[in-house]
Amino acid sequence: MDRFAPYDRLQQVQPEMRRDIVRLAKRAIETDSEAYILVNNRVEGNSPSTIDALGTMIVDALGLR
């Protein structure tokens, strides 16, 4: 379970997972629905970095930049 410990940096980026989450978030925003995205360190090794990357990708996908 602790293969990414000490969780201080991204260990294994999951591009397909990121694209799936961006699609989900974009669809939720476009349909005025709620979407809950749970991220933990076991996904890529550092949840704050994963969340930051997803936020950037969602903003870009919505053309808000």
pLDDT per residue as tens digits for the range 11-40: 999 999 999 999 999 999 999 999 999 999
Q: Is residue 5 pLDDT above 90, yes or no? A: no
**Closest C-alpha to 27, from 63, 54, 64, 61:** 61
Domain extents for the chain?
15-61
| pLDDT value of residue 35 | 95
Number of H helices and E strands in the chain, helices first, is 3, 0
